[in-house]
Structure 1
């Protein structure tokens, strides 16, 4: 399994187009990845820092998403306009322990 950790903070230039784009791409990635997208969670800290955690079943599907033209356009807008800062980490999950089975997690 692959875990993508995306930390960010909005710039003063963020606009309504961000929310529209985020909603569209979240729907698109779920449709494109199907069962290869395990979980997608977003959090916002009190200080405004944002955190997205995305679990992928395999690197091939993640690579397909990374190369998606609409996703790449949104990344450019993020770098140029929407984010004051961002940090992306991609990690291979070596082990997971849980008190519940995978069926307990809602679909992403």
Structure 2
């Protein structure tokens, strides 16, 4: 999996313009081959972090180099971004824990305390 980490801060007064572009860019990503997921978070200090997952570097690159994505990037630099940073990462290990709702069991959680119930743990590692 390829993870794009996009960290940004907006210029004052450009929220509406930003919202239009982010919706269009997210819709584009969702239509691209190999798209796995997209989430955005906003920290208390105003920094925004967007995570976009693709199944391969080729698919991530096709999205990032598409004319629509390039146009959104240019608009962002000219208007609504005060700053941004992009990191493209290859996921080397992917571990997931999910407790099963309503079940009792003897699993131990990350803190060493008993977990709420039986759980599933899946780990995927690249060779």
Give the structure-1-normalised TM-score. Answer: 0.83
1:28 is displaced (CA, Å) by 1.9
| One of 37, 45, 63 as aligned partner of 1:65 | 63
Structure with higher RCO (Cα < 8 A, 6+ apart) = 1
- Where do residues 67-106 of structure 1 align in structure 2 (5 Å cutoff)? 67-100=65-98
Q: Is the 8 A contact 1:13 1:81 kept in 2?
A: no
The corresponding residue for 2:49 is 51
Which runs of 5 or more residues in structure 1 are unaligned?
102-108
**Where is the strand percentage greater, Structure 1 or Structure 2?**
2
Q: Is the 8 A contact 2:17 2:80 kept in 1?
A: no
Higher Cα Rg, which structure: 2
Distance, in Å, in 1 between the alignment partners of 2:62 and 2:79 is: 24
Instruction: Return closer, same or farther for 1:79/1:98 CA change in 2, 3 Å cut-off.
Output: same
Q: Is the 8 A contact 2:6 2:84 kept in 1?
A: yes
Which runs of 5 or more residues in structure 2 are unaligned?
99-119, 121-127
**Where is the helix percentage greater, Structure 1 or Structure 2?**
1
Paired residues, what number? 99
2:32 is equivalent to residue 32 of structure 1: yes
Root-mean-square deviation (Å)? 1.5
2:4 is equivalent to residue 4 of structure 1: yes
